[in-house]
Structure 1
């Protein structure tokens, strides 16, 4: 009795140890996989990011990685144990009676076929489940981020219907695949119970004929029970592995995408060369698609202010994205200070360019934390100068905690104009050589916009800062040294305001329509 008790204690100790290391290994695997996936996503250029939706990447980083992590945990805990139990039971059955043991083998083969059929049936369906989960996540994100718009248009019921349809689709797909997976246990039990009946029937005959004893029949039934338990565990594992396989395929889809942009080895700026040169540059978003920008030729001298104007979809944001190498040109060459932009390291480009994007994005944290994104080593003087130039100093100083004021997620506790001014300040904190403002003053009133232009003009004269301003307002770029007019991906005019009013119909039409709108006000 003491030996059995000791074996039980040892079994418990080894089981707890195995559970501990299995949990540690699976959690380590999940952490490393999630970190590597996140790091890989961060190497993507805009072109690669366009291939996946934000919600899809989030689902792959969370739900899909969790499925893979769970499969690893189950593998370590059970997969290594179940085959030994099943094979051992079959071997012991063979030692008792070779003919009756064939029933074990036949049952195992039938179950293996059933498992293979169910696995092949459910694997693509589990991938559909994860895809539909992407849709539900996307709708949730859109509805929450656009809650004000939904309420402003009274579209709550419409959004509820759309979300309900997506949720129902996810539910129905999940039910279908779960129904198929649920067949595993009853089918496994049925096959093994039939095998037990066969053993009792043929074993009973052997006992009657004196070839086997009753104890041996009981042993065979016990071995069959051991196999039953092992195969049930294996069947449940198969469901987990099928889910994990679908998730792994989705994760690998991300890993299989490599960045089309290879980081340069480094280049030395030629201060005497133009700040920006674009020679016969064309760009298409889709591979082998129609060019979105066509044969762009542009030269920007150091210290110049360049305004870019055009209608919606004319290619303004794409043009400045090519300058700072957020995209690579499909054809042609982009040069920064005499060197091909592809030769610079990413760190060099981020030092050369300060970018205030079209959408003002701020992160949860203090005002100062957001400004230090551009330059972690920025001094208090750098921050103060950036705030003054961007016309942010007045409202930041008026905040109760000043630079230590906490910004909520997405900067929702700030107005649109305040967010835009802080993104401009963030771009200036790094003391860039070239500043790109991508329609980043659209929420500013005319007086503040004028003050911003004046401050940037002083900065250009003082430090030789090159500024590239994308704007919907002709008044915002009217006094730039050079104005570039885009229409349907082509440059249709380059010059000063006075020159373009005389020579460029598109520019003239934009100015006329905006001036007329102001007069009507």
Structure 2
């Protein structure tokens, strides 16, 4: 936690220095007040000196105003330091997460990363703001109060020296028990976020299946778990208040008892007793502030550990020390096997070998779960192969810079994800400097131009969050247009026309072939019609290649492909082959 604060407070050093100075000013003024009040009672009231009372009262008022300035200044500058720290830390975490491969994101989980970026950073930020105020105020007021009490009466100051260790011992045991509970609370917040995120993203499914009651029960369980652990932590921390109050009241009783006896013997004045009472209250309440601070620190420490877990996680996919440029855009898979985790016993893909040349169109088909999407995600290194090698232009993809890989490849994913903004901003997402003519041609090739021109603002028409204002087919066409505008040398279309009609699909297929004669295109499809004209078709079955060839060749020698064709196009589609 200390390293995090030291690293990300660099941009707010001035605020961090000024805030404690302002707090020192406030505490200094607060420590002067009881002594001035004592003088009013001992010298002014006791002697009936009205002038002295008014003069000292004016001094107290000035001291109070200076203290207010110090307090407000500390609040302002500590808040500025805290918000700068939070903003820098959050940005650093976000940038670091962008470097993660899918493997790290799968491991940490999306909901947990959201919690760490928001709730955990906020915990640290709040702790820092409180620390800049309390870590100066509490120790200074505590030490200053004991010192001032000692100057007034060394004998009665012993009461404070006894009360303080007793309170620290009680606090130590409470904080020790509470820390693991705060760590558990953060994981329960993760769970609440997961359930809520799933429900909001899948709200249409929930309503379509009348699953509101089921989802409500899931959320209630997650929320109740969080409440239970919060209550456990709260039940421990709530003990601190009565403990502090009990010690404070006991100290006050002792002060009255011994101070009263000393006053009756003429060893102490009444005003001094009042001042000592105020100092005792200040000292013990400053200890209460330390207690509050320790509870905040213990919770922030749990959050800091979760934040450090993110920042210390290194992507399993990194650039080679001596990166190479591909010599062309031919793609070769050589004995490729892949599994998502090293602990998995089974491979998702096994012994995949094939070659695809630039300018070709390669179709990939197979049953659901056969590994089609996983196969294609290995080309741009969204995951790394477990065994074997993938080469582009004769160079292993692990020796090519990721930036280069992502520049030359373009993927149209199964799920069409668009961002809130305008159609133009989404189409230019891969290339912010993309010419309007290129963007317009991409939309035309993706058969999106017609519905775009139907909007009043055309390319400046709004795209709502998660593209709620667009149909499934429109989202797919815009996703395809966005990838076309990137002009990749290796195009991967992952079942990207499933929501469009066959006529539109045929036009998109034609545009794919004609858009760049030197580009290599991979088409993952469920429909035979989408890939039957491909130069080569790969049939996957259970993570293995069942067959490779043209449509006609596979109809003759591959039973799986033949069965798929018959199921979609009928027996007459294969009768005249051969």
Q: Structures share a fold, TM > 0.5?
A: yes
In structure 2, do the counterparts of structure 1 residues 127 and 318 end up closer, same or farther at CA, with 3 Å as the change threshold? same
Aligned twin of 2:340: 285
SS at match of 1:80: helix
Distance in 2 between residues matched to 1:351 and 1:173, nearest whole Å: 47
Aligned twin of 1:298: 354
* Pairing partner for 1:496 from 550, 562, 570: 550
Q: Does 1:183 align with 2:235?
A: no
- Identify which range, 284-293 or 352-361, moves more after superposition: 284-293
- Structure 2, unaligned stretches of length 5 or more? 1-54, 574-578
Aligned twin of 2:518: 464
Q: Does 1:250 align with 2:306?
A: yes
SS at match of 1:323: coil
- Identify which range, 433-442 or 11-20, moves more after superposition: 11-20
Distance in 2 between residues matched to 1:396 and 1:216, nearest whole Å: 83
Aligned twin of 2:538: 484
Aligned twin of 1:424: 480
Aligned twin of 1:268: 325
SS at match of 2:108: coil
- Identify which range, 98-107 or 261-270, moves more after superposition: 98-107
Aligned twin of 2:93: 37
Offset, 1:414: 1.1
SS at match of 2:94: helix
Distance in 2 between residues matched to 1:266 and 1:412, nearest whole Å: 42
* Pairing partner for 2:410 from 332, 342, 354: 354
Distance in 1 between residues matched to 2:172 and 2:150, nearest whole Å: 26
Aligned twin of 1:508: 562
Aligned CA-pair RMSD: 2.4
Offset, 1:238: 2.5
Q: Does structure 2 conserve the Cα–Cα contact (< 8 Å) formed by 1:139 and 1:163?
A: yes
SS at match of 2:81: helix
Q: Does structure 2 conserve the Cα–Cα contact (< 8 Å) formed by 1:185 and 1:235?
A: no
Distance in 2 between residues matched to 1:151 and 1:219, nearest whole Å: 67
1:91-123 deviations in whole A, cap 9, x for unaligned? Answer: 444556666544423322222122222222222
- Structure 1, unaligned stretches of length 5 or more? none
Distance in 2 between residues matched to 1:13 and 1:95, nearest whole Å: 27
1:240-285 deviations in whole A, cap 9, x for unaligned? Answer: 22322222222222112111111346432313xx611122222221
Q: Does 1:113 align with 2:169?
A: yes
Q: Does structure 2 conserve the Cα–Cα contact (< 8 Å) formed by 1:266 and 1:348?
A: no
* Pairing partner for 1:445 from 490, 501, 520: 501
SS at match of 2:522: strand
Distance in 2 between residues matched to 1:389 and 1:517, nearest whole Å: 33
Q: Does 1:342 align with 2:392?
A: no
Distance in 2 between residues matched to 1:7 and 1:219, nearest whole Å: 16
Q: Does structure 1 conserve the Cα–Cα contact (< 8 Å) formed by 2:337 and 2:351?
A: yes
In structure 2, do the counterparts of structure 1 residues 125 and 425 end up closer, same or farther at CA, with 3 Å as the change threshold? same
Offset, 1:52: 2.5
With normalisation by structure 1, the TM-score equals 0.92
Distance in 2 between residues matched to 1:3 and 1:205, nearest whole Å: 31
In structure 2, do the counterparts of structure 1 residues 426 and 266 end up closer, same or farther at CA, with 3 Å as the change threshold? farther
Aligned twin of 2:12: none
1:350-381 deviations in whole A, cap 9, x for unaligned? Answer: 22111111110011111111000121121122
Distance in 2 between residues matched to 1:518 and 1:191, nearest whole Å: 93
SS at match of 1:483: strand
Q: Does 1:125 align with 2:181?
A: yes
Matches within 5 A, 1:79-478: 79-94=135-150, 101-201=157-257, 218-264=274-320, 266-271=323-328, 275-290=330-345, 291-460=347-516, 463-478=517-532
Distance in 1 between residues matched to 2:476 and 2:121, nearest whole Å: 36
Q: Does 1:26 align with 2:26?
A: no
Aligned twin of 2:49: none
Matches within 5 A, 1:54-73: 54-73=110-129
In structure 2, do the counterparts of structure 1 residues 228 and 373 end up closer, same or farther at CA, with 3 Å as the change threshold? same
SS at match of 2:282: helix
In structure 2, do the counterparts of structure 1 residues 466 and 365 end up closer, same or farther at CA, with 3 Å as the change threshold? same
Offset, 1:450: 1.5
SS at match of 1:335: strand
With normalisation by structure 2, the TM-score equals 0.83
1:180-234 deviations in whole A, cap 9, x for unaligned? Answer: 2111111111123223334444556666788767666555443321211201222
Distance in 2 between residues matched to 1:448 and 1:141, nearest whole Å: 34
Distance in 1 between residues matched to 2:126 and 2:383, nearest whole Å: 38
Distance in 2 between residues matched to 1:103 and 1:400, nearest whole Å: 80
Distance in 2 between residues matched to 1:205 and 1:509, nearest whole Å: 104
Distance in 1 between residues matched to 2:59 and 2:222, nearest whole Å: 59
Distance in 2 between residues matched to 1:3 and 1:209, nearest whole Å: 32
In structure 2, do the counterparts of structure 1 residues 369 and 415 end up closer, same or farther at CA, with 3 Å as the change threshold? same
